[in-house]
Structure 1
Amino acid sequence: MNTYSTACFTESRFSRYFLSDPYPAFPAPECWTSNLRFPGGFTCGTMVGAVIVDGGPMMPTIASIALVLLAYLSGSIPFSLLVARAWGVDLRVSGSGNVGAANVWRTCGFSAFALAMGGDMLKGALPTIAAQALGLSPLAVVIVGTAAMLGHTRSIFLGFRGGKAVATGGSVVLTLAPLVALPGLAAWAVTFGITRISAVASLTAAAVCGIAAAVLLALGMLPPAYAIFVWGAVAAIVFLHRSNIHRLRTGTENRFEKLF
């Protein structure tokens, strides 16, 4: 699937559409794509957003922007912090000090972890599913997923601080490309079972997802926009784990002693 940007000109107005597969007929007057002219109409993809000068509806663009903002706000909800607080624990001063689900497991137990993990995953998955249901292009869907991840890592409710995007980013990847996410999930489980170190499991899972995305892209089974998102998410997760990587190098990284 490819994403196209088609500019259409008429005598009275200028419209710019962001388009993607599949290719339903979208009638238009005199239209040009780059240097190509298609008199009387053209065949193009689903309209994702429109910016129209000199009249005309703008709802697709408004809806897309609103969904991005909602995704960011959704991602900003600190479910792990709220769940831990219900257990009488302040994550910011307990365990590793991180406001992520792994620290909930470490400080509050597995039941609290399951609730926190579910919340962190839903806040990434639901906006992404909504973007897909609205028929947005792969690029637009990726922007929505990225907004959810950004909200999790730079929450407006936590002074633009947050978690490390593993659960929220993973849920976005799972929604976009299950064949990328599932090997990563398996890698996380195996690595965590062996090492009992959440950071090692998360970094291993991220690496596996990056490789899986490259393979599927090469096989033509993954839109380029989704592959780029996965690689960007991998880079973000590695960056956000830089303190963990330092502790791993010095042998001081936190290890789970008790799972249940």
Structure 2
Amino acid sequence: MDIIDYTLIAGAYLLGSLSSAIIVCKLAGLPDPRGQGSGNPGATNVLRLGSRKAAAVTLLGDMLKGLLPVLLAVTLQVSPPVLGLVGFAAFVGHLYPVFFQFRGGKGVATLLGVLFGFNLWAGLATAATWLFIAKGLKISSLSALVAMALAPLFVWLFAGAQWALILATLAMVVLSFWRHRSNIARLVKGEESLIGKS
């Protein structure tokens, strides 16, 4: 790797560290999402605070900070391993943001943004899976978990045997599942809340 590669990876992490939920809530005059609802600085928790507009902006912001650094890396024609690392760095920045005491979100929207950067069709397939399950069951975490579990398969199907991208996607999925461990426990107990509910 050269200085451009390292700069892209570091820049992706720093961009990922900009917490859309915290910034949007502050600008909208809403409470800090880390101290309300589920305590997670993500779009679903912002929705719980009662603002669909703020939740939509948060979702878009989280996706873009995964998408933009990957698109820049693609434009610069970096190698697949570096591209995978750029996406992973943006994702890790969201989970562990240097600007917010390393207290970040669970990474679903940022992972989706990274996937769109890796391959448009892999991103669309993952998003469609989330929307289909969310529409039917109204459980955000379950929809996200199923969609993320299928994401490495979608990357393989649509991007081919790009193993660096598949492994980067798998690593992001594992980390996000770890961050969803409390949701998984509630799902097992049948206690997980519905979308838009406390």
Q: Is contact 1:177-1:222 (8 Å) kept?
A: no
Deviation (angstroms), 1:216: 4.4
Query: Letter of the aligned partner of 1:85 in structure 2?
Result: K
Return the alpha-carbon distance in structure 1 between the equivalents of residues 77 and 129 of structure 2.
Answer: 32
Q: Is contact 1:80-1:116 (8 Å) kept?
A: yes
Q: Percent sequence identity over matched residues?
A: 35
Return the alpha-carbon distance in structure 2 between the equivalents of residues 78 and 237 of structure 1.
Answer: 16
> Unaligned stretches of 5+ in structure 1?
1-48, 50-60
Query: Letter of the aligned partner of 2:164 in structure 1?
Result: A
2:6 is aligned with 1:65: yes
Equivalences for 1:1-260 in 2 at 5 Å?
49=1, 61-87=2-28, 88-216=30-158, 221-257=160-196
Q: Is contact 1:75-1:149 (8 Å) kept?
A: yes
Return the alpha-carbon distance in structure 2 between the equivalents of residues 73 and 216 of structure 1.
Answer: 29
Deviation (angstroms), 1:110: 1.6
Query: Letter of the aligned partner of 1:186 in structure 2?
Result: A
Return the alpha-carbon distance in structure 2 between the equivalents of residues 131 and 78 of structure 1.
Answer: 22
Tell me the secondary structure at the aligned position of residue 108 of structure 1: coil
Q: Is contact 1:91-1:99 (8 Å) kept?
A: yes
Deviation (angstroms), 1:212: 2.1
Deviation (angstroms), 1:214: 4.0
Deviation (angstroms), 1:210: 2.7
> What whole-Å deviation, never above 9, does each CA across 1:145-183 have from its counterpart, x for those lacking one?
111001000001121120011111110011102222211
Deviation (angstroms), 1:62: 1.5
Query: Letter of the aligned partner of 1:78 in structure 2?
Result: S
Return the alpha-carbon distance in structure 2 between the equivalents of residues 89 and 108 of structure 1.
Answer: 11
Tell me the secondary structure at the aligned position of residue 77 of structure 2: coil
Q: Higher relative contact order at CA 8 Å, sep ≥6: structure 1 or structure 2? A: 2
Q: Is contact 2:107-2:176 (8 Å) kept?
A: yes
Return the alpha-carbon distance in structure 2 between the equivalents of residues 139 and 84 of structure 1.
Answer: 35
Deviation (angstroms), 1:121: 1.1
Return the alpha-carbon distance in structure 2 between the equivalents of residues 237 and 114 of structure 1.
Answer: 21
Evaluate the alpha carbon distance shift between residue 252 and residue 225 of structure 1 in structure 2; reply closer, same or farther with a 3 A threshold: same
Deviation (angstroms), 1:125: 0.9
TM-score between the two structures when normalised by the length of structure 1: 0.71
TM-score between the two structures when normalised by the length of structure 2: 0.92
